[in-house]
Amino acid sequence: MKNQRRFVIILVLVLLVVIFALQNSQAVTVNLFWTHFSWPLIIVIVGSLLLGALITLLLSAASIATARKTTQKLQDEVNRLRSQPKKAKDVIETDTDKK
Q: Pick the closest to residue 42 from 21, 19, 63 (CA basis).
A: 21
Say if residues 14 and 50 touch (Cβ distance below 8 Å). Answer: no
Determine the Cα–Cα distance for residues 80 and 82; give it in Å rounded to an integer: 6
What pLDDT is recorded for position 95? 55
User: Residue 29: helix, strand or coil by DSSP?
Assistant: strand
Q: State pLDDT tens for residues 20-75.
A: 878 887 888 888 888 888 888 888 888 888 899 999 998 888 889 899 999 999 89
pLDDT at res. 82: 79
